[in-house]
Chains A and B, each alone.
Chain A
Amino acid sequence: MVENRPWLDFLAHAILLTGVVLVAFPLYVTFVASTLTYDQIVTVPMPLLPGDQLIENYSQVLRAGSTKGSAAPVSTMLLNSLVMAVCIAVGKIAISILSAFAIVYFRFPLRRFFFWMIFVTLMLPIEVRIIPTFKVASDLNLLDTYAGLTLPLIASATATFLFRQFFLTIPDELAEAARMDGAGPLRFFRDVVLPLSKTNVAALFVILFIFGWNQYLWPLLITGSESMYTVVIGIKRMISMGDAANDWNLIMATAMLALLPPALVVVLMQKWFVKGLVETEK
C-alpha cells in the first residue's frame, strides 16, 4: 500500500479533478448549448450558463427534428436506436451463449475447427466485410428494415468466447450430477448453466447495448428513409451545411437525448455489471 501523506492525497485529488473536468466539461457545454437559442449559440463567446430554451428545444426535436437538414422527429430515431440496440444485445447473447454451450458440452466432429473458425472471425471487424455484407443484405431486401439493421451485427465471436471461458470454469461434476439427476442437455442449460451465467449475461448486455446504440457505419449504409434513422445517424443528418447554418441548439439537444439511454442502462445495471466482471458464483 501507498503511504498516507497529505501531499500525496492532494496530488491524487488534483489528478482526479482534472480528469473529471476534462470528461465532464464538454458534456456540460453540450447541455448548456441545448438550452439556448440559435442566436445565443453563435455569439462569441458562447454563454456558459444554461438558457431558458430547454423545453422548447427538446420538444421541438422530439416532435419534428431540426428546422434545417433532416426533419425526422428524434422520438422516432430514439425508438429505432432502442430497437436496434436491444435486438443486437439480446440476439448476440442468445446466439453466443448457445454456441458456447454447444462447443463446451457437446462432442461433435470438427468441434475444435468450428471453435477456431469462430475465434478467427474475432479478427474481422465489421468494416472489413461491410461491402459483401451490404450486398447480401440488399439482395435479401433488408435495406431500411429492422432486420437489416440488426441481423448482420448479431453474430459475436467475442461473446461466444467469453461464455466459453466461463463455462469451462463450471466443474464437470455439475454436468455429471445433472445427468445422474436425469436432466437432458437443454434442461441442464436452462436450470443450471443459465442461472449461473446471470451476472455474465448482465455485464454483456450492458456492453452490447452500448455497442449497438453507438453503431454508426452500418446504419448509415443500410438506412435510406428518414423513418429508419437511428439517433446517431440522425445527428449526422442534421448537420447538413457549413458551420453557421445548422441548428446547433437542436443538434445539441439531440446529442443529449442520444446520450441518456446508454447512461441509464449503465447506471441501472451497474451492480450486476460489476458483479459479472469481478466475481463468479460457484
Chain B
Amino acid sequence: MAGIRLAGVRKSYQKLEVVHGVDVEIADGEFIVIVGPSGCGKSTLLRMIAGLEQITAGEIAIGGERVNDVEPKDRNIAMVFQNYALYPHMSVYDNMSYGLRIRGMPRGEIRQRVERAAKILELGALLERKPRELSGGQRQRVAMGRAIVREPAAFLFDEPLSNLDAKLRVQMRLEIQKLHRELRTTSIFVTHDQVEAMTLADRMIVMNAGVVEQVGRPIDVYDDPASLFVAGFIGSPAMNFLPGERAGDAVALAGGVRVPLPAELRAAAPAAITVGVRPEHLGPATGEGPEFRFEVETVEALGADSLVHGRCGDSAIVARVDGHAKPQPGSTLTFAAKPGRLYFFDSASGKRLRPAA
C-alpha cells in the first residue's frame, strides 16, 4: 500500500495539451474518484498514473518513489478496464493468475491468492469458465479479481461500471465500496457519473477541460462548490443558475427579482453575477428573503419527490418538492431559498465569489 503524489502533471499530444498541470496528494488507503465530463482528461490522467501514457511534464510518485520512467508492471499497481479486458481464451482462473505466473510465483501461492480473491468476490464456482460464459457483472468481478490477486499498492479503475445496466451498476458500486472497506488499498476511480463519485469517494477530484476544478470530500464539494462548473456537475438535478447584474448591494436578476449580496461578498463583487440555488434548497416562500415566482411548465413525479420545471426570466429553473404535492402545469408558484443556500458566482470567470481574506 502506498500514497500517490501528482505534481504539476501535464500531458500533450504534439501541440495539443489535454491535461494542464495537476497537483494532488493521495493518502495511503484513500478512495479517490476522478469525475468529469467526457474529454476532460480524467482517463488520460489515470493512464499516466498506470504508466500506459507518457508524462509530458511534472512528476508522479507512488509510495514516495518517482515512477515517471518506470514500466507499468513495475509500478506495483493494478488496473480494471472499462471493457474488462479479460483474455477471452483463458479460464477465469488463468485470467486471474496470469500476472502472478509471469512473475514466477510458486503454484501453491498462486492458487491460495486466487482462491482467496474468488471467495471475496464470490467467483468460486466460476473459476473454470471462459469469460464469454459469464454475465457482465461476473466479468466485472473477474476483472477486479485479477487486480486483487496482485495485492498491489493501488487499484486504478477506469469507468469500470459504465458497461453494466443500471441495476447491476448500483450493486457493483456497493460491492466496490465493501471491497475497499475490507482491503483498504489506495484506489483511484475514474467516472463521468457524479452519483458514483458521491457514493464511492473519500475525496473526489472534479476535472474539466484538463484542469482540476476542485478536490474535496463529496459532501464538501456539494455544499461548497468552487465554480459554476462544479456546482452544475455535482448534484442531480443540477443547480439552477440565474444570471444577473450587480445593483448596489444586491443582484438584479432577469424577471425583476433582487437578491441581496451577503455583506462579506460586497467588496470584491464584479458587475455580472450568477446566482445559483439547488432544486432541493427551494422551499415554500416564507416572506423572508428573495422570492422566486414562476409558472409551472412540467412536473416530473419521481415518487418520493417531484421535480417542478419552470422559467424564471430567461433561465430554466427546477425545484424539488414533496412527491404528494401535485402542482398543476400552468399554475404559478413562489419559492424561497433556504437560508445560506444561495451561491454567488462571477459570471465572467465562473469562479465562486469568496469573502476577501
For residue B287, CB closer than 8 A to chain A, the reply is no
A180 and B72 in contact, given A171-B85, A192-B87, A282-B88 (Cβ under 8 angstroms): yes
Asked if A47 is at the interface (CB within 8 A of a chain B CB), the reply is: no
- Residues on B with beta carbons closer than 8 Å to the beta carbon of A281: 88-89, 132
Inter-chain contact A182/B102, CB cutoff 8 Å:
yes
CB-CB under 8 A for A174 and B87, given A180-B79, A180-B99, A281-B132? yes
Residue A52 at the chain B interface, CB threshold 8 Å: no
Do A177 and B88 touch (CB < 8 A)?
Answer: no
| B324 touches A (CB below 8 Å) | no
Complex interface residues of chain A between 175 and 226 (CB less than 8 A to chain B) = 176-183, 187, 191-192, 195-196, 198
Most chain A CB inside 10 Å of its own CB: which residue of B83, B102, B146: B102
Q: Measured between alpha carbons, how far is A149 from B330 in the docked complex, in Å?
A: 89
Identity of the chain B residue whose Cβ is nearest the Cβ of A177 in the assembled complex: B85
B98 pairs with A191, CB closer than 8 A: yes
Chain A residues, Cβ within 8 Å of B132: 281
Interface assignment of B178: CB less than 8 Å from any CB of chain A: no
Closest to B87 in A: A192
- Known A182-B73, A182-B99: A177·B79 in contact at CB below 8 Å: yes
B50, B84, B86, B88 — most chain A CB neighbours (10 Å): B88
Q: How far is the CA of A176 from the CA of B89 in the complex (A)?
A: 16
Instruction: Please measure, in the bound complex, the distance between the C-alpha atom of A192 and the C-alpha atom of B102, giving whole angstroms.
Output: 13
Encode contact with B along A148-179: 1 for CB under 8 Å, 0 otherwise: 00000000000000000000000101101111
In this assembly, does B229 line the interface, its C-beta being within 8 Å of a C-beta of chain A?
no
Q: Residue on A with the closest CB to B89?
A: A195
In the bound assembly, the distance between CA atoms of A183 and B103 in angstroms comes to 9
Check: B78 CB closer than 8 A to any chain A CB.
yes
How far apart are the CA atoms of A281 and B86 in the complex, in Å?
A: 12
Task: Sort chain B's interface into a size bin.
Answer: 20 to 34
Is A174 a contact partner of B85 (Cβ separation < 8 A)? Answer: yes
Q: What mask results when residues 68 to 94 of chain B are scored 1 for a CB within 8 Å of chain A, else 0?
A: 000111000111011111111100000
Cα of A180 to Cα of B52 in the assembled complex, Å? 9
Which of A171, A180, A198 is close to B78, meaning CB atoms less than 8 Å apart? A180
| Nearest-Cβ distance from residue A193 to partner chain B, whole angstroms | 10
- Given A179-B72, A182-B73, A173-B78 contact (CB < 8 Å): no
Which of A176, A182, A191, A195 is B85 in contact with, Cβ under 8 Å? Answer: A176
Q: With both chains docked as a complex, state the minimum distance between the C-beta of B14 and any C-beta of chain A, in angstroms.
A: 14
User: Contact at B102–A176, with CB atoms within 8 Å?
Assistant: no
The digit string for B90-110, where 1 denotes a CB below 8 A from any CB of A, is: 000000001100110000000
Complex-state Cα separation, A177 to B89, whole angstroms: 14
Q: Which residue of B lies closest to A282 (CB)?
A: B88
A177–B50 CA distance with the chains assembled, in angstroms: 11
On whether the beta carbons of B103 and A182 are closer than 8 Å, the reply is yes
- By beta carbon, the residue of chain A nearest B50 is A180
Residues of A within 8 A of B98 (CB): 178, 181, 183, 191
- Hey, which chain A residues are within 8 Å of B81, CB to CB? 173, 176-177
Q: Mark B118-132, 1 if CB is under 8 A from A, else 0.
A: 000000000000001
| Docked complex Cα distance between A36 and B172 (Å) | 76
With most chain B CB atoms within 10 A of its CB, the pick from A174, A187, A195, A282 is: A174
Asked if B85 and A181 sit within 8 Å, CB to CB, the answer is: no
A125 to B72, CA, bound (A): 45
Contact call B85/A196, Cβ cutoff below 8 A: no
Determine if B85 and A173 form an interchain contact, defined as CB atoms under 8 angstroms apart.
yes
Q: In the complex, what distance in Å separates the CA atom of A178 from the CA atom of B73?
A: 9
Instruction: Name the residue of chain B whose CB is nearest to the CB of A181.
Output: B99
In-complex Cβ contact of A173 among B71, B73, B83, B146 (8 A): B83
A contact residues around B73 at 8 Å (CB): 179-183
Shortest Cβ distance from residue B54 to the other chain A in the assembled complex, whole angstroms: 12
Nearest CB of chain A from residue B154's CB, rounded to whole Å: 12
Closest Cβ neighbor of A280 among chain B residues: B88
- On chain B, the residues within 8 Å of A171 by CB distance are 83, 85
Residues of B within 8 Å of A192, CB to CB, are 87, 89
Report A-chain residues with C-beta under 8 Å of the C-beta of B82: 173
For residue A170, which residue of chain B has the nearest CB?
Answer: B88
Q: Give complex CA distance A195, B78 in Å.
A: 24
In the complex, which residues of chain A have a beta carbon less than 8 angstroms from the beta carbon of B99?
180-182
Interface residues of B (CB under 8 A from A): 50, 52, 71-73, 77-79, 81-89, 98-99, 102-103, 132, 146
**Known pairs A176-B50, A281-B89 / 19 extra A-B pairs, C-beta < 8 Å:** A171-B83, A173-B82, A174-B85, A176-B52, A176-B72, A176-B79, A177-B86, A178-B98, A179-B72, A180-B72, A180-B73, A180-B78, A180-B79, A180-B99, A181-B102, A182-B99, A196-B88, A281-B88, A281-B132
Smallest CB-CB A-B distances: 9 pairs: A182-B73, A181-B99, A173-B85, A177-B85, A195-B89, A173-B81, A182-B102, A180-B72, A179-B72
Chosen A-B contacts, 24 in total, with CB atoms closer than 8 Å, are A171-B83, A171-B85, A173-B81, A173-B83, A173-B84, A174-B85, A174-B87, A176-B79, A176-B85, A177-B79, A177-B81, A177-B86, A177-B146, A178-B98, A179-B52, A180-B77, A180-B78, A181-B73, A181-B98, A183-B98, A191-B98, A195-B89, A196-B88, A281-B132
